[in-house]
Amino acid sequence: MYTLTRREEQVLISVWHLKESAYLVAIRKYLTDITGRLWSIGSIHKPLIILEQNGYLAAYDGEATPIRGGRSKKIYTVTKQGMAALTQYKKVNDSLWADFQEVEFGK
């Protein structure tokens, strides 16, 4: 199994959350809202390409819209392989964070 970077993991879980609304600009907005920092288009586009090449995402062209000058959006969906990766990463993260307690420094 391909080992995801943290950014790839964040993009993959964002696609899962957004479902049929998972296209580049929507993913960027979602991640910006969640993390509180502005994500560049490139910081999302590159992981999308890698995730698709490794079989974690599939993509299809959505409907063309007049707002986009007749261009269609590329919609991403999580594949079975992608869901397996998300499940594995969640288990690993849950294990790593188990029993974590905040410590106050300086007191």
Which band of pLDDT confidence, cut at 50, 70 and 90, is reported for residue 72? confident
- Specify the residue for token string 């999580």: 78
DSSP 21: G
pLDDT of 3 reads 83
pLDDT of 37 reads 94
Of the CA atoms within 13 Å of residue 93, those in its CB half-sphere come to: 10
Q: What is the domain partition of the chain in residue ranges?
A: 6-88
Q: What percent of the chain has pLDDT over 90?
A: 67
pLDDT digits (tens, 9 = 90+) for 42-57: 999 999 999 999 999 9
**Fold exhibited by the domain 6-88:** Arc Repressor Mutant, subunit A (1.10.10)
pLDDT of 101 reads 82
pLDDT of 70 reads 67
Q: Is 68 helix (H, G, I), strand (E, B) or coil?
A: helix
